[in-house]
Amino acid sequence: MPLIAPLRRACLPSPSIPQRQCRHATVLRRPKRPYTFTQLVTLSDGSTYTHRTTSPAPVYTSTKDTRNTLLWNPSSQKLLTAEVDEAGKLRAFRDKFGRGWDARRMEEKDAEEGKEEEEEPGEPGEPGKEPEEREDNLMDLISGFGLEAEGKGEARGVREGKGKSGKRKGGER
């Protein structure tokens, strides 16, 4: 057999120029299809539907889908105000410094909204007043700390609050 093989190869015609017409048989392969299961998909708002999938789990419960994502629900106030805290940084901050900063931010927001509403009547004194008010409130909040820490904490808190709100707005848009 090893003697014959090189001989046969030498006798073969070049594949580019067929010597005579030939029709080889074509294999008809059975198509390969993965097994599919019927799966019940439960969306986050409780709606369900079934689909065929290769996943063997009978029920798929999604925690995040189109029903609770802001991009698909741009008018939802609930999702708009929802706080993104996936890394747990906000919670850690609250554990350490309390929730007073949240309340401050909410008040600010309310004040801004009120200001926007009241812009038409016109109140020039308001923007000038606000920093003082804020300072007072911050002083109340951090009254438990030392005098040196006051200024620092205040400055940091204000900066952080501002940065966070700006970031959040940018992210939402």
Partner 1 sequence: MASQRVPSVFQSLPLRKRDFHNFPCLCSCRKASTFNGMTELSEDVDPSSSMQIPGPSEEHLASFDPIARSKRRKRPLPSSRYKFRPPKYYRGPLHPHQPPPPTAPESREFIPGPFSLPRLQQTYHSTFASDLLTLMYTHHPPGTLPGPSGPRLRSWDGSSPYHKNRPLRPPRGGPALPLLRRPITFRNIPRLEKIHVHSFVKEAGSDSAHLHVAGMIMQAITNVRATVFRAKHTIANFNLRKGSPCSVGVELRGEDMYNFLAKVTEVVMPRIKDYQGISGKSGDSNGDIGWGFGPDTVGTFPEVEINYDAYPSKMIPAVHIVVCTTATNDKDARLLLSSMGVPFYGKHMN
What residues make contact with partner 1 under the rule CB under 8 A?
Answer: 23, 25-34, 36, 38, 41, 43, 49-57, 60, 62, 64-66, 68-69, 71-72, 171
Smallest gap from Cβ 61 to partner 1, in A, equals 10
Smallest gap from Cβ 82 to partner 1, in A, equals 13
Q: What does the DSSP 8-state code read for residue 31?
A: P
For residue 136, count other CB atoms closer than 10 A to its CB.
10
Is the Cβ of residue 68 or residue 165 nearer to partner 1 in the bound state? 68
* Residue in 134, 139, 136 with CA at minimum distance from that of residue 149: 139
User: Quick one: how far is CA 14 from the chain centroid?
Assistant: 60
Smallest gap from Cβ 68 to partner 1, in A, equals 8
Distance CA 166, CA 116 (A): 17
* Residue in 160, 115, 149, 119 with CA at minimum distance from that of residue 133: 115
What does each C-alpha distance from 122 to 15, 62, 93, 117, 133 come to in angstroms? 90, 49, 38, 10, 19
Residue 28: CA atoms inside 13 Å, Cβ hemisphere, count? Answer: 0
Is the Cβ of residue 36 or residue 109 nearer to partner 1 in the bound state? 36
Is the Cβ of residue 42 or residue 165 nearer to partner 1 in the bound state? 42
Is the Cβ of residue 63 or residue 77 nearer to partner 1 in the bound state? 63
Smallest gap from Cβ 78 to partner 1, in A, equals 15
Smallest gap from Cβ 164 to partner 1, in A, equals 16
Is the Cβ of residue 53 or residue 165 nearer to partner 1 in the bound state? 53
